Amino acid sequence: MHRFFITVLRAGIAAAILFGLFGQLVVIPTTAADEVDRFPPYAPYALPYTVVAIAGVACVQVVLAAAWRLLSMVERDAIFSSAAFRWVDTVIGSTIAATLLALAVACHLMLATVPSPDDGMELISALAAATATTGLGACLVMVIVIMRGLLRKANDMKSELAEVV
């Protein structure tokens, strides 16, 4: 891969990780506090949902860090090695964790009686978003698992070719 593209991707990954950190430290807690100020019955839900949101962002940051490491392997032309599988497995595990967090939120919104300041549309929207995120996360996990299988196949083929040559 061209060095320029790797540099641009790394800059994007670094920016995304920093943006996520800002979200974890400032945006998510502030938004939760603002929602509780706007509608006090949300108070019991503020801390658990804040923790889940911060953990979800952390899962994305883990995926980004693993992508950084995989980019380093591409740069060294070492992507077809057993070490790459560790990072791909990290991506899979983190994506599964984020998907399970979204599923937990969807289940909670579906089963719990959460108070609503208006007609409940914001809860229906949140449930729809959590359900969609769960479905997309599951699809992403399946795609990554398939890509891992392709990496395994390419790695095996490279090993066979090395034996022949």
Collapsed DSSP state (helix, strand, coil) of residue 137: helix
pLDDT digits (tens, 9 = 90+) for 2-20: 889 999 999 999 999 999 9
Which pTM does this prediction carry? 0.89
Q: Band of the pLDDT at 115, cuts 50, 70, 90? A: confident
Alpha-carbon dihedral sign for residues 17, 20, 21, 22: positive
Q: Evaluate whether 76 touches 107 at the Cβ level (below 8 Å).
A: no
Q: pLDDT tens across 87-113, in order?
A: 999 999 999 999 999 999 999 999 998
The DSSP string of 87-151 is: HHHHHHHHHHHHHHHHHHHHHHHHHS----SSSSHHHHHHHHHHHHHHHHHHHHHHHHHHHHHHH
